[in-house]
């Protein structure tokens, strides 16, 4: 059983770390974009004027944090940590460093084979089949996801001629335990996809009162007699995935114009 507490955490987030010579007083832009894909992350760093401003640090890895410029707008850009605890820490550190709005996206498994590979999924609610979210908001089976900016994002999708699906997501923190009976259960109850961070992003941002938007591009297909990996592997269908990246950057421009 996970015990929920309304108290603030004993350990406080202090923002990300800086390397020697980096400006510790640099003011971060208000909007951040995080991507789970290393391939898409590297593509952005190569294409846009990326200024390294610090890094996330943990026991076995460092991940650089950048400021990029897109359409004359400065955006914090980072490679998002995979799994609930990791992405929760990222959001906490960014929030403590002054980021006000965050966009996080990555791929997911689909529970409906009719959802096309690399098409977009907008989660509206999520089944909390993980542990991290229960430390941020009180227990419940589901949590609302994306209370803000959905219409703005749909407008961008239409401009870029992207197919999209709205629906529940199933957030799990044990991907090798996506069993057939659980797949059927969550699909029968309205879930269209499965991933590892959605309900955590929603709960952390709700706790911090931080604005956010999260979305997915369709990866492997679980609506099959055998696992259909489709484009789940990073470089597969990479040109289409790079188009998905532009959706996040376009939304960041829109969010930058909001107070």
Decide: 173 and 116 in contact? Cβ < 8 Å.
no
Reported pTM: 0.94
pLDDT one-digit tens code per residue, 45-102? 999 989 988 888 877 878 889 999 999 999 999 999 899 999 999 999 999 999 999 9
Q: Is the pLDDT of residue 15 over 80?
A: no
Confidence class for position 117, pLDDT limits 50, 70, 90: very high
Q: Which domains does the chain have, with CATH numbers?
A: 31-256 (3.40.50.1580)
For 58, the token pair is 């943990």
Burial-class residue 85 by CB neighbours within 10 Å (0-12, 13-18, 19+): middle
Q: Which of 44-53, 140-149, 198-207 has the lowest mean pLDDT?
A: 44-53
Confidence class for position 32, pLDDT limits 50, 70, 90: very high
Q: Which residues pair with 29 in a beta bridge?
A: none
Distances in Å between the Cα of 178 and the Cα atoms of 1, 125, 193 are 21, 19, 11
Residue with tokens 């961070």: 197
pLDDT one-digit tens code per residue, 174-191? 999 999 999 999 999 999
The whole-number pLDDT of residue 182 equals 96
Q: Is the pLDDT of residue 207 over 80?
A: yes
Burial-class residue 92 by CB neighbours within 10 Å (0-12, 13-18, 19+): buried
The whole-number pLDDT of residue 20 equals 76
Q: Is the pLDDT of residue 214 over 90?
A: yes
């Amino acid at each position: 059983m996970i015990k929920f507490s309304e108290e603030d955490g004993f350990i406080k987030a202090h923002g990300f770390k800086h390397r020697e010579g980096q400006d510790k007083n640099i003011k971060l832009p208000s909007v951040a974009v995080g991507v789970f894909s290393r391939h898409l992350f590297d593509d952005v760093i190569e294409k846009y004027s990326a200024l390294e401003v610090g890094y996330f640090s943990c026991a076995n890895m460092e991940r650089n944090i950048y400021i990029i410029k897109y359409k004359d707008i400065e955006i914090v850009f980072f490679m998002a940590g995979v799994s609930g605890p990791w992405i929760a820490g990222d959001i906490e550190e960014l929030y403590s460093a002054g980021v006000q709005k965050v966009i996080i996206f990555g791929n997911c498994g689909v529970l409906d084979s009719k959802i096309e590979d690399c098409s977009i999924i907008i989660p509206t609610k999520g089944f909390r089949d993980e542990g991290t979210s229960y430390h941020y908001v009180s227990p419940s089976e589901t949590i609302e996801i994306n209370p803000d900016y959905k219409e703005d994002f749909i407008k961008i999708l239409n401009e870029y001629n992207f197919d999209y699906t709205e629906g529940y997501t199933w957030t799990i923190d044990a991907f090798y335990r996506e069993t057939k009976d659980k797949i059927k259960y969550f699909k029968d109850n309205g879930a269209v996809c499965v991933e590892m961070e959605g309900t955590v992003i929603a709960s952390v941002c709700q706790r911090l009162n931080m604005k956010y938007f999260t979305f997915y591009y369709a990866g492997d297909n679980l609506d099959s007699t055998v696992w259909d990996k489709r484009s789940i592997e990073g470089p597969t269908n990479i040109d289409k995935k790079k188009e998905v990246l532009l959706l996040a950057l376009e939304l960041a421009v829109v969010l930058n114009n909001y107070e």
